[in-house]
Amino acid sequence: MKALRPGVVVLLGAIAIVLVISAAGVFAFDRLFTTTTVPVTAPQAASVGLPPAVEEPTLHFRVLSTRGVAEKHRTSGAWAPLAVGDELGADDEVRTEATGQVELSLGVGSVITVAASTELRVAELRPALHQLQLKRGRLAATYDPDGKRVLQIEDDSGKTVVVTRGAAFSVLASGQALAVVTQTGSVSLQAAGAATEVGPGQQAHTYGGSAPSPVTPIRAEVLLKIARAGRPASTLCTEVKGTVEVGTEVQVDGQAVGVDGAGRFSVKVPRREGQVSARVAVRDVSGRPRETLVPCAAPAAVESHLEVELRWGSPAAATAPGR
């Protein structure tokens, strides 16, 4: 084997050096400018759920006082006497007899007085809405403003509604009429798509679900006018005809009597043994009573007819009927 010439050896050494330097440069470049990707696990999002549903508190009316005959009725069960401390919730009912009365409270600044001869249902009780249904009779309310709540009282049909956020007022449901009177604050009487604001010292009414009447000042006294008694009859004590303010409750001998849209009423009172008069009692929306006695008419005179018997050959004889 021939020995390489000195020039060739030098050339090969130079090439080797160049190759080593090039390799080192490539390695250095790769280290400097090449980024190694390191997998990063994304942080798991914190579990954020909706806030838990807040249940509305269950509200109840509490009985503050009772007088006379006052009863309660729940959706299931019979009528039972009311007692101080009893609680009434949605769909519970209250009724009072002629001498009964109940005071109900719903927290501070809210007192409902259920007057005599009244039937009331608790329709709905929520923090924002206190709804009552006045089936018949009268209630008085003292309802302080809160801003978060509304008191709503509807008639038996649900077509006429009294709404307030704060007032002292009374409502009377009698037959087809519903009347309201306000002492302080303001209430809205709503029916047939119309509304009337009833302010302090004012009253208004609806009849048969019609639009509310214009407001008028509270009368100084209870209106009761009795017309002359009708013609006497043997089976009647009297026929009572009279006029009251629309929305006034009328009873004759303890029986409710209907009043028309003009405030007129008429009733025939049967004659009972020993009866000398008929008692007419009225109660207006303010709760003011008035009574009067209407004397029984004298019985109709019984006409006496004589029957004449003619007998041939004898004088005429007179006999009373039925002889």
Residues 66 and 212 in one domain: yes
Domain that holds residue 250: 225-295
pLDDT of residue 73: 92
pLDDT of residue 76: 74
Q: Which of 188, 217, 246 is the last residue of a domain?
A: 217
Residues 163 and 117 in one domain: yes
Tally of domains within the chain: 2
Q: Per the domain annotation, does 162 fall within a domain?
A: yes
Q: Within the chain, how many helices (H) and strands (E) appear?
A: 1, 24
Distances (CA, A) of 24 to 21, 38, 115, 164: 5, 25, 108, 93
pLDDT of residue 54: 59
In DSSP terms, 136 is beta-bridged to 119
For position 266, which CATH number holds? 2.60.40.10
Q: How far is residue 265's CA from residue 191's CA, in Å, rounded to a whole number?
A: 24
Q: Per the domain annotation, does 8 fall within a domain?
A: no
For residue 79, the one-letter residue type is W
Question: Which residues, at least 6 apart from 41, have a Cβ–Cβ distance to it below 8 Å?
Answer: none
Residues 241 and 103 in one domain: no
Q: Per the domain annotation, does 48 fall within a domain?
A: no
Q: Per the domain annotation, does 53 fall within a domain?
A: no
Residues 207 and 234 in one domain: no
Q: Per the domain annotation, does 276 fall within a domain?
A: yes
Residues 151 and 247 in one domain: no
Q: Which of 177, 195, 217 is the last residue of a domain?
A: 217
Residues 148 and 85 in one domain: yes
Q: How far is residue 192's CA from residue 96's CA, in Å, rounded to a whole number?
A: 30
Residues 290 and 145 in one domain: no
Q: Per the domain annotation, does 107 fall within a domain?
A: yes
Q: How far is residue 137's CA from residue 175's CA, in Å, rounded to a whole number?
A: 9
Evaluate whether 101 touches 138 at the Cβ level (below 8 Å).
no
Residues 189 and 75 in one domain: yes
Question: Which residues, at least 6 apart from 10, have a Cβ–Cβ distance to it below 8 Å?
Answer: none
Q: Per the domain annotation, does 50 fall within a domain?
A: no
| Tokens found for residue 202 | 């004012």
pLDDT of residue 67: 97
- The b-or-e profile of 143-181 (16+ CB within 10 A means b, else e) is beebeebbbbbbbeeeebbbbbbbbbbbbbbbbbbbbbb
Question: Which residues, at least 6 apart from 174, have a Cβ–Cβ distance to it below 8 Å?
Answer: 136, 247, 248, 249, 250, 256, 259
Query: Among candidates 225, 216, 226, which has minimal Cα distance to 285?
Result: 216
pLDDT in tens, the chain (323 residues): 455 555 544 555 555 554 545 555 544 445 544 444 445 455 554 445 556 655 767 889 999 999 999 999 987 789 999 999 999 999 999 999 999 999 999 887 899 999 999 999 999 999 999 999 999 999 999 999 987 899 999 999 999 999 999 999 999 999 899 999 999 999 999 999 999 999 999 999 999 999 999 999 999 999 999 987 666 677 889 999 999 999 999 999 999 999 999 999 999 999 898 899 999 999 999 999 999 999 998 776 443 333 333 344 444 444 444 44
DSSP per residue, 272-290 = -TT--EEEEEEE-TT--EE
Query: Among candidates 238, 227, 239, 242, which has minimal Cα distance to 275?
Result: 238
Residues 185 and 253 in one domain: no
pLDDT of residue 179: 98
Residues 212 and 251 in one domain: no
Q: Which of 217, 244, 260 is the last residue of a domain?
A: 217
Residues 249 and 203 in one domain: no
* C-alpha count within 13 angstroms, C-beta hemisphere, residue 132: 30
Q: How far is residue 14's CA from residue 8's CA, in Å, rounded to a whole number?
A: 10
> How confident is the model over 100-140, as pLDDT tens digits?
999 999 887 899 999 999 999 999 999 999 999 999 999 99
Residues 159 and 285 in one domain: no
Q: Per the domain annotation, does 22 fall within a domain?
A: no
For position 173, which CATH number holds? 2.60.120.1440
